[in-house]
Amino acid sequence: MSKRTIGDIQVDLAVEIPVDAGFPAAVLVPAMQQDVVDEHRDILIPFCINPETNGLKLSIHTWILKTAHHTILIDTCCGNHKERPTFELAHHLDTPYLEKLAAAGVQPGEVDFVMCTHLHVDHCGWNTQLKNGRWVPTFPNAKYIFSRAEYDQWNPADTRFPKAEINDGVFNDSVLPVIEAGQATMVDGIHALEDKLIIEPAPGHTYGSIVLKVESKGQHALFAGDTLHHAVQVLRPEWNSGFCTVPEQSAKTRRTLMEHCVEKNALLLPAHFPPPHAVRVKEKGSYFTFVTE
């Protein structure tokens, strides 16, 4: 079951790509230490480490929130028919992503908000789709929420920031068409989608990464994007991913978010945890542990 409720908010997801064989730890979480893995084997295997390959299992998915007023998508995966030679996993895809959204009760025209936690290749691809040779917004009635700092980082015209090769082409085919269609809303600092749905800056993985904190009827959740890729980073927040732009800041942000989850008993829903896709964070000495949920 992928459906959940947080108070009176319905939560579901659409999985574009399951990565069950997993990524090598040396690529995804280079600082990972085997002794910590061995200590926590009971909660890591087989949930998020493949016992046959030792790969770190992932999922590329979109979170779907339905409130009394809005339908909200968080991150839009890789997208179909995109030219991604520097990221083979997303290169020339043809997946039934829209059918999976439909199975979750979501038609493109019904989406009110699309929030991109950041603008990496696997988080904004379905912002657009190819129609009659042009990239057009997939969700024609939605406001797309972008962090202004994130937009600046990936804007080719802004030379202040380095541009990662893995993101080649993403701005032009998955961000710019949304801007040109007049559907983008840029946010700085804290921003409320609704009274109890609060966007906050969470820099480190990228300069402009954002997260969504949710509260409803006394229940809390954190949609954390790529502030952590894998559950081993709950155990050791100082372990950055191999894709973090500002590593020291990323580690600080991650620890702060884990502390928030403990304090509020908030359900943690990142962008890439494999099934069941969410965990409850607990204190363990000066570190943390988790229970899948």
Q: What is the mean pLDDT of the chain?
A: 97
- Which of 10, 18, 52, 75 is closest to 205 using CA atoms? 75
How much is the pLDDT for 247?
95
DSSP state of 113: E
Q: What is the pLDDT of residues 144-173, one digit of tens each?
A: 999 999 999 999 999 999 899 999 999 999
For the chain, what are the domain ranges? 4-220
Q: What is the mean predicted confidence (pLDDT) over 30-34?
A: 97
By percentage, how much of the chain surpasses pLDDT 70?
A: 100
Q: What are phi and psi of 42, to 5 degrees?
A: -65, -25
Q: What is the mean predicted confidence (pLDDT) over 186-190?
A: 97
* Element at 224 (helix H, strand E): strand 219-225
Does 3.40.50.460 match the CATH number of domain 4-220?
no
Distance (Å, rounded) from C-alpha 285 to C-alpha 287?
A: 5
| CB-CB contact of 254 with 233 (8 Å) | yes
Distance (Å, rounded) from C-alpha 225 to C-alpha 192?
A: 17
How would residue 140 be classed by pLDDT, with cut points 50, 70 and 90? very high
How much is the pLDDT for 80?
98
Strand partners, 268: 222, 279
| CB-CB contact of 199 with 190 (8 Å) | yes
Q: How far from 10 is each of 5, 112, 229, CA to CA, in Å?
A: 5, 15, 24
Q: What is the mean predicted confidence (pLDDT) over 247-258?
A: 98
Tokens of 33: 């230490």
Cβ within 8 Å of residue 95, ≥6 positions away: 16, 17, 80
Distance (Å, rounded) from C-alpha 45 to C-alpha 48?
A: 6
Distance (Å, rounded) from C-alpha 28 to C-alpha 201?
A: 23
